[in-house]
């Protein structure tokens, strides 16, 4: 308990210092994807339920957490203070099964951006590749897309490297080709794609019915928008929004760009398309914090990779202080 008190006191000191630095509205938007029961060394970006619980406790005690829709409204109104909003991308089933109980425990709101195509048994191409490399009994992977090289899979470190190289090789290919190659890799490694990784429509309705949860759009099939024409991008945004609204029975007002790096994964014209598609705001994956003058259709977000509660809080506050 003494250690917890020290952490709380340290975080409070950091928070107070940040508050004294200025009274303008500042919004830190946090990105998460999956929440796991146990640590998986091949999923460096995923957080365990225990880690998420510790971080949630820090957020609850030391920060002012708002639903993202409300936080954007407070930015519009010029309401001073540092706000934090939690978001999850893609629409994984563990957001309901593991993340929601923690959010309820600490009474923290969150927005879940869902790629509608993968509901009800679908799986994203990168997860096809990642699951195959993680679970295969094979000791190597050889595929033409890898430039003829053979990727060894004998241990965790080699599988980490193989996963990164395979996903990087496919990432910016045309979508249909990328998905087919992912399936080819899964077939070579003899690991069929999982049908239960993503949310079902019923699970999505359960999430949307919870007062802590807002559902946002993430396109229909998660293309990198800079790699498709404007008509396809507009269709992806609009179709994803329409499907989600049909399932949850209410407007979907927030949007997250797939991959989300400005200038690489989406372009300024896509921000205009998001507005025209009926969204009220959109989020990127550019690191930083939003302020009153930030484009509401290019709100920055970041992942605080630190799992230690004090380091997590410090990184969050440092990002908020920097312009």
Specify the DSSP class assigned to residue 262. Answer: B
pLDDT digit string, tens, across residues 248-268: 999 999 999 999 999 999 999
Specify the DSSP class assigned to residue 193. Answer: P
pLDDT digit string, tens, across residues 88-140: 999 999 999 999 999 999 999 999 999 999 999 999 999 999 999 999 999 99
Contact between 98 and 54 under an 8 Å Cβ cutoff? The reply is no
Q: Provide the percentage of residues in the chain whose pLDDT is more than 90.
A: 80
Residue ranges of the chain that CATH labels 3.20.20.370: 2-121+195-321
CB atoms within 10 A of CB 280: 17
pLDDT digit string, tens, across residues 205-216: 999 999 999 999
**What gap in Å lies between CA 279 and CA 254, rounded to an integer?**
6
Q: Burial of 86 by CB count in 10 Å (0-12 exposed, 13-18 middle, 19+ buried)?
A: buried
Contact between 233 and 129 under an 8 Å Cβ cutoff? The reply is no
Rounded to two decimals, the pTM is: 0.92
- Residue 8 pLDDT level (bands cut at 50, 70, 90): low
Contact between 28 and 82 under an 8 Å Cβ cutoff? The reply is yes
Tell me the CATH class for 2-121+195-321: alpha beta
- Tell me, what's the pLDDT at 278? 97
């Amino acid at each position: 308990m003494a250690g917890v008190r020290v952490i709380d006191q340290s975080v409070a000191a950091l928070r107070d210092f940040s508050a004294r630095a200025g009274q303008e509205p500042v919004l830190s938007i946090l990105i998460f994807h999956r929440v796991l029961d146990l640590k998986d060394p091949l999923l460096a970006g995923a957080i365990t339920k225990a880690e998420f619980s510790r971080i949630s406790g820090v957020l609850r005690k030391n920060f002012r957490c708002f639903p993202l829709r409300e936080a954007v409204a407070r930015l519009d109104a010029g309401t001073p203070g540092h706000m934090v909003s939690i978001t999850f991308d893609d629409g994984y089933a563990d957001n309901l099964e593991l993340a929601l109980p923690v959010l309820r425990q600490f009474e923290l709101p969150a927005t879940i951006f869902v790629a509608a195509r993968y509901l009800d048994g679908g799986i994203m191409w990168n997860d096809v590749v990642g699951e195959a490399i993680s679970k295969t009994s094979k000791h190597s992977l050889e595929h033409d897309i890898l430039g003829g090289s053979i990727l060894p899979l004998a241990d965790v470190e080699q599988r980490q490297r193989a996963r990164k190289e395979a996903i990087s090789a496919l990432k910016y290919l045309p979508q249909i080709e990328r998905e087919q190659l992912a399936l080819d890799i899964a077939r070579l490694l003899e690991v069929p794609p999982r049908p239960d990784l993503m949310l079902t429509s019923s699970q999505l309705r359960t999430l949307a019915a919870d007062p802590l949860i807002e559902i946002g759009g993430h396109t229909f099939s998660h293309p990198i928008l800079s790699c498709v024409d404007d008509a396809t991008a507009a269709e992806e945004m609009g179709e994803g929004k329409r499907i989600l609204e049909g399932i949850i029975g209410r407007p979907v007002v927030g949007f997250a760009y797939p991959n989300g790096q400005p200038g690489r994964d989406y372009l300024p014209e896509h921000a205009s398309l998001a507005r025209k598609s009926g969204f009220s705001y959109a989020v990127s994956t550019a690191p930083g914090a939003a302020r009153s003058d930030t484009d509401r259709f290019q709100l920055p977000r970041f992942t605080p990779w630190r799992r230690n509660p004090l380091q997590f809080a410090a990184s969050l506050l440092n990002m908020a202080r920097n312009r």
